[in-house]
Structure 1
Amino acid sequence: MTVPTGAERATEVLRTEDFGPVRVLTLNRPEKLNALDTALTRALSRAFTAADADRDVRAVVLTGVGRGFCAGADLGEFSSLTPDRPEAVLERAALTARLQVQARQLRVPVVSAVRGAAVGGGAGLAIGADLVVAGTDLKFGYPELTHSIVPALVMTGLVQHLGRKLAFELVSTGRLLTAAEAAEHGLVNRVVEPAEVPATALGIAQRWAELEPRAIAAAKDLFYRVADLPTDAAMRAGQDVNALMRGFRG
């Protein structure tokens, strides 16, 4: 998998490429550090939906062109998202909220391949994937308050992934974590040299793609369901899947 450099001219806000049963989605606004404007947010949400509906797709890699994964919301668009345009404000909020949780809702597993900046909504996208491969150049955090913005739509994911004290520190101070710190706190699965990030993520996705698709879909669904259930209810859900999986093997 090759990822274009920031020097290349962006022609689309999102690139889609299939490597056999692995679909690679690449944020393609390098001049903006892949910041999420409405067009990119909508395109990525639709691409997730399309990947989930395509039975030939068995895994997804999410990455970004250039020197940063995603700089979060495109602040340049905020001048048009004002109280006198409530429909546009509500549409953007709904799009962002959907996108922040969409990867975990797919039947197929998603790995994010993250280099450089992953901040704000970009941080949420990164850790919203099932696995994260990060470069040693990672800069991870939530600097919204330094721009007088509340990280409202990414806070749920952050609090779910981190202890409250560290989560509040990141939100309230804007401090950025290094790759080593992110790994220490369980935010990323692998840390490799930046040049190795795409291939490492693709390798993980290809191994997923070799698994029985119904089995991994059921395992992913159960994984997130039991995380939100009391123990007794979680065990009952597990029993249901245990019975279902008998039909997965030929």
Structure 2
Amino acid sequence: MTETVLLERRDEIAVLTLNRPEKLNAWTHAMRERLIGLLREADRDPGCRGVVLTGAGRAFCAGQDLEETAAIDPGDHAAAEAWIDDFDRLFRTVRELRKPTVAAVNGVVAGSGFQYALLADLRIGHAGVTMGQPEVASGIPSITGIWAMWEILGRAKTTELVLTARLVDAEEAQRLGLLTRLVPEDEVLDAAVAQARAIAELPPGAVALTKARLRELDDDALAEAVIAAKKIHADAYATGEPQREMARFLSGKRR
């Protein structure tokens, strides 16, 4: 069976690759569990001094696999809450890494995949990248997405992106601070590894403590967003709207 997340070591840098290219690396529960385990191993490994996050094929991550969430029963609030808990654990695991974390961003970066990319310390992409938060188009309220974008974009641009479901191109993403810099497509991964290595060469204690302080600045906001997401997603799934919209999308029907 093909692993949904791959681990490659480039000397002291761990490269973690989401590996469902035929599904644009869309998330499943099993995929998140494996990634959490690999991230924790990398953080514990004294031989690992930095982490690079990327995706196989033509996408970094297109967000949640709708085939999985479309099956949630409208009356099953516990299932909707467990889904949010999954992402809370993943997001906190990335945020709590003491080592520099760089996203090598390729192709499509959408929904919870977009949020995941924003958790990295820095993000390196190419001209073909498209990024955004199109969840409302699938009937899914964007709640943790608001949290992920707020400090980078502010109220006006966050509101625009979560309500219009618009994806931004690479040039706009860099201008907005969603991407740190752009390089040629075939250089993205190498540039991300080099960036992680450059930070890893700095005093590790100072890097870890600085990362911890950055995390403290919006940790309470994340906790609040997760509480809100559990309630709001449970309410949304209880209406059946997300399931209907996801089923429509999966069938290829237009609105």
Is 2:212 the partner of 1:225?
Answer: no
RMSD (Å) for aligned C-alpha atoms: 1.9
Q: Residue 154 of structure 1: which of 127, 145, 165 is its match?
A: 145
CA–CA separation in structure 2 for the residues paired with 1:90 and 1:170: 24
Checking the alignment, whether the CA contact within 8 Å between 2:145 and 2:162 is kept in structure 1 is: no
The separation in 1 between residues aligned to 2:61 and 2:196, in whole angstroms, is: 21
Query: SS where residue 126 of structure 1 aligns?
Result: helix
- Residues 222 and 153 from structure 1, CA distance in 2 versus in 1: closer, same or farther, beyond 3 angstroms? closer
CA distance in 2, matches of 1:208, 1:169: 34
Percent sequence identity over matched residues? 39
Q: Does 1:34 align with 2:25?
A: yes
Report the structure, 1 or 2, having the larger helix content: 2
Q: Superposition pairs for residues 122-133 of structure 1, below 5 Å? A: 122-133=113-124
- Residue 201 of structure 1 is matched in structure 2 by 192
- Structure-1 residue corresponding to 2:81: 90
Name the CA distance, whole Å, in 1 between partners of 2:79 and 2:211: 34
Q: How does 1:64-213 map to 2 (within 5 A)?
A: 64-213=55-204
Structure 1 residues 22-67: Cα deviation after superposition (integer angstroms, max 9, x where no partner):
1110000000000011111111122222211222211000000000
CA distance in 2, matches of 1:24, 1:129: 13
CA distance in 1, matches of 2:122, 2:133: 20
Partner amino acid, structure 2, of 1:24: V
What does 1:225-244 correspond to in 2, within 5 Å?
225=216
TM-score between both structures, scaled by the size of structure 1: 0.82
User: Which aligned segments of 4 or more residues in structure 1 are displaced greater than 6 angstroms?
Assistant: none
**Structure 1: which 5+ residue stretches go unaligned?**
1-9, 230-250
Contact 1:183 1:189 in 2 (8 A): yes
Q: Distance in 2 between matches of 1:44 and 1:180?
A: 29
Structure 1 position 212, deviation (Å): 2.7
Quote the residue 1:236 is aligned against: none
Kindly indicate whether the alpha-carbon contact (under 8 Å) linking 1:100 and 1:154 is maintained by their aligned counterparts in 2. Answer: no
Q: Is the 8 A contact 1:162 1:185 kept in 2?
A: yes
Counting matched residue pairs gives 220
Matches of 2:219 and 2:144, distance apart in 1: 19
Deviations 1:121-161 (A, max 9, x none): 11101111000001111110111111111122322111122
TM-score norm. by structure 2 comes to 0.81
Kept in 1: contact 2:100–2:200 (CA 8 A)? no
1:67-109 Cα offsets, whole Å, 9 max, x none, are: 0100000101013322454444332210112223432221111
Q: Name the CA shift for 1:156/1:32 in 2 (closer, same or farther; >3 Å).
A: same
**Structure 1 residue matching 2:80: 3-state secondary structure:** helix
Work out whether residues 103 and 130 of structure 1, in 8 Å CA contact, stay in contact via their aligned partners in 2: no
Alpha carbons of structure 1 residues 154 and 47: separation in structure 2 relative to 1, 3 Å: farther
TM-superposition CA deviations, 1:164-199 (whole Å, max 9, x none): 111111110111111110111111111112111101
> 1:234 corresponds to which residue?
none
In structure 2, distance between residues paired with 1:215 and 1:132: 21
